Amino acid sequence: MFISAILVAVLLFIVLAIVSEEFFVPAIDKLAVRLNLGSDAAGATLLAIGSSAPEFFTSLFAILGVAGSHADIGAGTIVGSSIFNILFIIGAASLFKTVKVQWQPVLRDMIFYIASIILLMLVFSDGAITLIESIIFIGTYVLYVLAVMNWRKIFPYEDQQADEEQLSTKEKSRLNKRIHWGIGKFVPDPKKHPEKYILTFLASIMIIAFTSFGLIWSIQTVALEFNVNPTFLALTILAAGTSVPDLIGSVVVAKQGRGDMAVSNAVGSNIFDVLFGLGLPWFIVLMLKPEQGIHVSSANLMASIFLLFATVVALFFIFITQNWEVGRKSGWGLVSLYIGYCVYVLFSL
């Protein structure tokens, strides 16, 4: 059974990658143009929300107890994914092309990111989640979206333009033509049917939701077979797997020269994951089953949350000292820190 679970997980990761790069990101680009969003605003909202769908559905399914899972898996996936986004995604994006950002959108995202981590620490400190806390999380995310939409009015800055050469070369890469063809039977191909970008956007999210369900089952099966702490798998393997859309989305736009969008996607995804990806599932469950309550094992998660805060400090330090750029050397440093984090989690749980 566990071999089947591993094979299913690998297949689902591939599906996530293809849906993200070849269907989801192109649809978001068209939707951003229609809504007249700048690259950083699109990265912090549309790209972040959409590419964080795996984490959201994983959190929701885990809290609901799907496939015998537990709230710790959902929370662990969110926390682990947040660390992966900052260290690995931004690091990996800079290995392809130096990530150049403007301080105005970075300042906005960092303020809300730090606020979301502080809220997470406070809520997890007693191991119990209340309805009021879930509402505060959702409300804070609404404030973030409003800030994104109006930030340019407060701190004016120019939008970064995509590198047309990279836009054309991106179309040449295909992870798996056969799987792409199969997905294209259910999801409108943005190259062949650009006018159906909204349907492509929604259908992509639905596929991401189903793959998230499969990943939950896979991770539970592997954990039971090898008697591995499921929180460890959620913080590492599942967190990285569900962040595939974020990774591909950030790398694609970074290669196009849109560093603001790449960083805003990584940080914006974290803000979405923490505030909305946890807040809304908590709210739904507490409204439907108020007598059940939600409990998390703070002992297993608090150390990672503190490390999550440390990633903010590390990233901000790099931006300040490198004149708002992340080059190849800094990128390798961030990736190495993530590998070190995985080793730490392996021996600490």
pLDDT tens by residue, 215-273: 667 766 776 677 777 667 777 777 777 676 677 777 777 777 776 677 777 787 788 88
Q: Which two tokens stand for residue 119?
A: 């809220």
What distance in Å separates the CA atoms of residue 113 and residue 110, rounded to the nearest whole number?
A: 5
Tens digit of each residue's pLDDT (9 = 90 or more) over 69-116 = 555 566 777 778 788 888 888 888 888 778 777 888 888 888 898 999
CB 52 within 8 A of CB 277: yes
Answer yes or no: pTM beyond 0.85.
no
pLDDT at position 173, please? 43
Kindly state the greatest CA–CA separation across the chain.
Answer: 57
Give the three-state DSSP class for 257: coil
Spatial separation of the C-alpha atoms in residues 312 and 246, rounded to whole Å: 18
pLDDT at 168: 42
pLDDT mean across residues, the chain:
76
Nearest CA among 146, 126, 103, 52 for reference residue 259: 103
pLDDT higher than 70, residue 288 = yes
Mean pLDDT of 183-193: 82
The residues facing 295 across adjacent strands are: 128
Of residues 176, 180, 206, the one with CA closest to residue 191: 180
Mean pLDDT computed over 318-327: 84
Instruction: Name which of 109, 44, 150 is nearest 315 in CA terms.
Output: 109
Greater confidence, 10 or 112?
112
Whether the predicted pLDDT of 133 surpasses 80: yes
